[in-house]
Structure 1
């Protein structure tokens, strides 16, 4: 693609009020599946474990109708809800909210492998076809590396894999990457999704940096491992750069490692609002992936999510 073609395509994509559906010249828009949003209701009687009043504007209800109003004008046709609570009953609460709005095509819950009731709860929630897996990583005081030495924990993840469900991992750092490498060896049939990898701080010390790069290289060789290009934006000296050029080196590195078939779009809404509004984050990754051609952009914005999550099509607007 030459520069003139790219500029024409970009102009088509950002017509009307700054940003609209992902239009590719005169072709049909590319539908977008957002693989990472959170739902919670800060006004419900029992409250929520996250966010807290200290989180400022984030502490307000985040429900499907609010998300739909923000996302659908920008071309989003479906979303996957990722857990934001360690409370077991909140798995059902999210599924109940999802049932009320077809924009939700899947949920990633919160259950603890290795706990006595894990399999019973997994059987309970997987009866709902929207339940696509669980998240376990650097949050809620959990440690994947430690638990991989627990035979019961590993056995439960084997059950998760046998059910065709996924494991999302949260808030990556080098230690978590090392644990994921071990996990792929212990449960090789489990599909694993690394959330927010662009946000990971890579060590600057030479030996630690090379070790981290080795973990990433190892994971890049595991076809069952997917990466969310989410939480791309960073706050630098009190401001958040909007230019793709600021993030390009990191995005190029991840694209070079994991390729066009294993990267997923995720907004991290509404947590993303703490940096910039929804449309700004989407605009940045649109610019980056559109420059690689329509075929690659389609994979990133929806096709790879089908392979990773096997989500449920609920509306004619959603791609098949």
Structure 2
């Protein structure tokens, strides 16, 4: 009986098994359920309120005067987003309550990060009041609202407030990273080592080109990674010469650096909606940039980035059956 395979085309047993295993792996990936996504960085506002809004510039974002759970759901329909954490973008302390009331109306919101000033005399009262709501998962402090973490970490009353925040098992989200802010986070976590910190929009911070400054930048990141600090890989999309970059290769060096330093257990996903979408890039265009990058690392790493690590970082509240949980 003649073989259908030519002599020069003989397939070895090893080659056959390798090809079969690769095919099986591809088949398994094709059959794997989609990875659920928790977006850890969105904002709410309503420019139609009688008092208006302080952010952004009192006008909302272009084409979107109202950003609430309902409009967020529409923006992410069919994209696999099952939950979100609202990060406060208003300096008005009363908007903490407004956000919590809005969040309560829709189970897609699994937590909120509020706006309180730890160095203020009323901080203890406000923290106790808002922390009674289980959706309140921490506060935001950094380079916004004319505040400075660099200055604040030198104040004993600020450190006292942060210790109270950490004792309540809540998280500090920083705002708008710069090198001085990163060094301030190191000083803060030296003084309050039990504090969980999430550094937002870290891909937006350009690494210095000068070799010595670059080494210092990377050393600072490594020091942060040795603490209870998470890197929020949010606001990733960028324009070069006026053109939105969608090629994953464009983002790989920047994401590689942050992932290599912080490791797959300390990175979390965030979109910065509606800033990222209302200004210049649709959510459906932005999301694949990080999906392509993390899917290439394998499902385990992608799951950590898109939802598992956010549980450790924020202790968010599961409110819907579609929202994943560890060891489920």
* TM-score w.r.t. length of structure 1: 0.91
1:241-294, CA deviations, whole angstroms, 9 ceiling, x for partnerless residues?
A: 111111110000011001110100101100002231001111110000000111
Matched, 1:65 2:70: yes
Q: Give 2:269's aligned residue.
A: 265
1:198-242, CA deviations, whole angstroms, 9 ceiling, x for partnerless residues?
A: 0012233343333222211111222x1001110111122112111
2: CA distance between counterparts of 1:207 and 1:59? Answer: 44
The answer on whether the counterparts of 1:24 and 1:30 sit within 8 Å (CA) in structure 2 is no
Matched, 1:318 2:312: no
**For residues 152-231 of structure 1, what are the structure 2 equivalents within 5 Å?**
152-222=157-227, 224-231=228-235
Q: Give 1:256's aligned residue.
A: 260
**For residues 131-142 of structure 1, what are the structure 2 equivalents within 5 Å?**
131-142=136-147
Q: Give 2:43's aligned residue.
A: 38
Q: Which has the larger radius of gyration?
A: 2
Q: Give 1:150's aligned residue.
A: 155
**For residues 27 and 212 of structure 1, do their structure 2 counterparts lie closer, same or farther at Cα, with a shift above 3 Å needed?**
same
- Give 3-state SS (helix, strand or coil) of 1:213's partner: helix
- Give 3-state SS (helix, strand or coil) of 2:214's partner: helix
**2:245 corresponds to which of 241, 265, 269:** 241
The answer on whether the counterparts of 1:243 and 1:284 sit within 8 Å (CA) in structure 2 is yes
What is the count of residue pairs matched by the alignment?
305
2: CA distance between counterparts of 1:24 and 1:303? Answer: 19
Shift of 1:56: 5.6
Q: Which runs of 5+ in 2 are unaligned?
A: 1-18
1: CA distance between counterparts of 2:184 and 2:210? Answer: 21
**For residues 237 and 47 of structure 1, do their structure 2 counterparts lie closer, same or farther at Cα, with a shift above 3 Å needed?**
same
Q: Which runs of 5+ in 1 are unaligned?
A: 13-22
2: CA distance between counterparts of 1:200 and 1:54? Answer: 27
- Give 3-state SS (helix, strand or coil) of 2:240's partner: coil
Shift of 1:70: 1.9
Q: Give 1:79's aligned residue.
A: 84
In the TM superposition, structure 1's runs of 4+ consecutive aligned residues that sit over 6 Å from their partners are: none
2: CA distance between counterparts of 1:305 and 1:230? Answer: 13
The answer on whether the counterparts of 1:32 and 1:301 sit within 8 Å (CA) in structure 2 is yes
* TM-score w.r.t. length of structure 2: 0.89
2: CA distance between counterparts of 1:180 and 1:282? Answer: 28
- Give 3-state SS (helix, strand or coil) of 1:73's partner: coil
- Give 3-state SS (helix, strand or coil) of 2:31's partner: coil
